[in-house]
Amino acid sequence: MKTLNETAISVSGLQKSYKNILVLDGIDLQVKSGSIFALLGSNGAGKTTLVKILTTLLKSDNGRAIVNGFDVSQYPQNVRQSISLTGQFAAVDEILTGRENLILIAKLLHIKNANQIAENLLNRFGLIEAADRKTSTYSGGMRRRLDIAMSLIGKPKIVFLDEPTTGLDPEGRKEVWKLIEELANNGTTVFLTTQYLEEAEKLANQIAILHKGKIIANGTLAELNKLMPPSKVEYVEKHPSLEDIFLSITNK
């Protein structure tokens, strides 16, 4: 198992534009192996674009990204073999049961013992009682749990979760938070994007704040709090708002 001193993801000078719109403007960051890294930002900040580049779904214009020791532009296949990606919306087949969804993914990946793998994941994610129901009957939290379970087939070293709790009720969010913590406890590196300050505070070893395509702050929660005046910290704790954080940090 990797230690937190090893680097799972390294990004330097990453840039991306869509036509004349600069979406990522010189991104630099490091993610330690076995940690939970939270990329915090509002809609349109560039979070999903960065995730797409790191998972080889999109090419950057400039800069370099290394994921699990492989350059994403030079060795995309090697990167794909060591990661999984869960998007903002659960990608489960609603016609199939939970068990069938898991077995299908295992077979598509040519993994042996697909039935046993499905059984193990259903137990691990608390879905065994609903295993043979169509996923169209699942709650939002159950679908997200199944979605994450599907992403773990093949035992990826790095899991990318793009706003995994979007649209979930408070109970569903707590379920997903517990799963994310368990992933990290088992040695998996988790790269999480979120709009929720509370979520980043709850889960992450390290938080980077992305604002208008730039990383404006990066560190532990304690380190980020030092960037804001005491009055501002107190206000944000009572009224979590990304805009308050952005204004505080960018106006220093």
- As a whole number, mean pLDDT of residues 6-10 equals 93
Task: Output the pLDDT for position 220.
Answer: 83
Q: Looking at the domain covering 7-92+138-250, what would its CATH class be?
A: alpha beta
Please return the burial class of 105, using the count of CB atoms within 10 Å of its CB with bins 0-12, 13-18 and 19+: buried
Indicate the pLDDT class of residue 2, thresholds 50, 70 and 90.
very low
- In tens, the pLDDT along 69-119 reads 999 999 999 999 899 988 766 678 899 999 999 999 999 888 889 999 999
**Comparison of pLDDT for 26 and 248, the residue scoring more:** 26
What is each CA distance from 8 to 20, 47, 180, 203, in whole angstroms? Answer: 32, 18, 17, 18
pLDDT band of 244, cuts 50, 70, 90: low
pLDDT > 70? residue 4: no
Identify the pLDDT of residue 30: 94
